[in-house]
A = this chain, B = another copy of it.
Amino acid sequence: MDSADLLVRTLGECRISSPLGGLVTRRGTTEHYVDETDRVLLDDTLALLAGRTGEPPSFEPGGPRRQIFFDPSKIRVGIVTCGGLCPGLNDVIRGLVLELNSHYGVRRIVGFRNGYRGLVARHGHDVVELTPFVVDHINEHGGTILGTSRGNQDPAEIVDCLDQLGVNILFVIGGDGSMRGAQRIAEEVSLRDRRIAVVGVPKTIDNDIPFIGHSFGFQTAFGKATESIRAAHTEATAQPGGIGLVQLMGRHSGFIACYAALANNDADYVLIPEVPADVEAFLPHLRRRVRERGHALVVVAEGAGQDYLAADGTDASGNKRLGDFGVYLRRRILDDFAAAGEEANLKYIDPSYVIRSVPANPYDSVYCLRLAQAAVHAAMAGRTEMVVGTWRNRFVHVPIPLAVATRNQVDPNGDLWMSVLEATGQPAEFTELPHRAAA
């Protein structure tokens, strides 16, 4: 099923568009409101438009509505952050609080501690009152002031908690697993016929959530990763037989590796999960490159070359736990150079968590704020079971099922990967492209 079909079917099934109605008419100082009939097209290629009957697939745009559902003076709002850290979490929290408080006049906002655990009574976490004073300056820090944890909790217990606290809107900032959890919470809310909106702000350091343009914190993360690439390049070029090997985050998607490599434009090789690597072809090519130029720079995503790890017994347990390709490759390179009697000064750098725990850069700060504004507008207008994203430079509402249906990956036939191939000059011999394999 292609993206358009997926979108059409999902939109037909979900509760996103104003299920709670619009009860309150706003009288603001501004006359700028989103028209309820406005739409953002999924795809604008002429072919697609020509071949379809009926309206083309589209998203509901984000932004303020004239009719809102919740009375700001009455409601209580909850915020929770889940999963691994990502630059911008505190910007989103601050943006939600300031938009709710200053723009809508909502005074009662609470934060749940340590992810979904904070919404389950038996874990015993206190909630945090969130005021403009409390969130002042937090955007200058990495991490999340609410704490986080991995894993979902029983939706029934969570809705019990929301009931008990009288929460009318729950904002969930988290990854695809957390969004599935949010979906189940919304379903439990619906079963109980409660009027609680569940709105997500999707978080992924790997930029692998589909239908949301790009994810917040991604620019910050790959920007920080470029420091490791620069360091490895500096080391490699300074010594005879210098080889820089950098491993970056990216279990299933190589976006960080691709963008970070392009930023410096010094990498000779980029290996990502989406394009199978042929290590046996890579090694002699690397040796030749080092002989000819005196040095080489290799950037790998942690999820690349997983076949080798399995074949090598490194991770033969059958489960989907990934091994570090970088560590494997380091050993293979050193062995290969040693066997060939050639000098190798290999410097291995893995910045690991440093790229995800930094504060957001200014671009991501703006983006987080605007995502938060869009999320508040959506929730206040009664939207639920949705996440906010951008599509073709507009903020949109994306149904949760759509946001978790697939995984955004680097297209081996797309513009980004072509830019990488042109920039590195790495040959196709040791990266077997899917469409070639099919031939």
Which chain A residues have a beta carbon within 8 Å of chain B's beta carbons? 29-32, 39-41, 44-46, 49, 55-56, 58, 63-64, 85, 91, 94-95, 98-99, 102-103, 114, 117, 137, 139-144, 147-149, 213, 219, 222-223, 226-228, 230-232, 234-235, 237-240, 259-260, 262-265, 347-354, 357-358, 361-363, 365-366, 369-370, 373, 392-395, 413, 415, 418-419, 421-423, 425, 427-428, 435-436
Q: Nearest residue in B to A139 (C-beta to C-beta)?
A: B265
Name the one of B64, B350, B362 contacting A223, with C-beta atoms under 8 angstroms.
B362
Number of copies of this kind of chain in the complex: 4
CB<8 Å pairs between A and B, sample of 13:
A44-B392, A46-B58, A49-B49, A148-B239, A149-B240, A219-B362, A226-B362, A231-B357, A234-B357, A262-B366, A347-B352, A369-B419, A373-B423
**Whole-angstrom distance between the Cβ of A93 and the nearest chain B Cβ:** 12
* A348-B353 Cα distance, complex, nearest whole Å: 8
Q: Nearest residue in B to A412 (C-beta to C-beta)?
A: B32
Q: Nearest residue in B to A137 (C-beta to C-beta)?
A: B141
Q: Which residues of B contact A354 (CB under 8 A)?
A: 227-228, 231, 349, 351
Contact call A239/B31, Cβ cutoff below 8 A: no
Name the one of B144, B349, B361, B393 contacting A352, with C-beta atoms under 8 angstroms.
B349
Q: Which residues of B contact A264 (CB under 8 A)?
A: 139, 365
**Whole-angstrom distance between the Cβ of A177 and the nearest chain B Cβ:** 15
* A319-B137 Cα distance, complex, nearest whole Å: 41
* A114-B294 Cα distance, complex, nearest whole Å: 11
Contact call B262/A32, Cβ cutoff below 8 A: no
* A363-B223 Cα distance, complex, nearest whole Å: 7
Known: A64-B418, A226-B362, A357-B235. A103 touches B425 (CB 8 A): yes
Q: Nearest residue in B to A360 (C-beta to C-beta)?
A: B263
Q: Which residues of B contact A231 (CB under 8 A)?
A: 142, 353-354, 357-358
* A39-B427 Cα distance, complex, nearest whole Å: 29
Contact call B262/A370, Cβ cutoff below 8 A: yes
Q: Which residues of B contact A422 (CB under 8 A)?
A: 99, 102-103, 373
* A419-B49 Cα distance, complex, nearest whole Å: 32
Could you list 9 further interchain pairs (A-B, Cβ under 8 angstroms) beyond the known A44-B44, A227-B358, A347-B352? A99-B422, A143-B238, A147-B237, A147-B239, A226-B362, A227-B354, A234-B357, A263-B363, A394-B415
Contact call B142/A423, Cβ cutoff below 8 A: no
Known: A94-B265, A422-B99. A428 touches B29 (CB 8 A): yes
**Whole-angstrom distance between the Cβ of A149 and the nearest chain B Cβ:** 6
Q: Which residues of B contact A141 (CB under 8 A)?
A: 137, 140, 234
Known: A141-B234, A147-B238, A423-B369. A55 touches B44 (CB 8 A): no
Known: A219-B363, A240-B149. A30 touches B428 (CB 8 A): yes
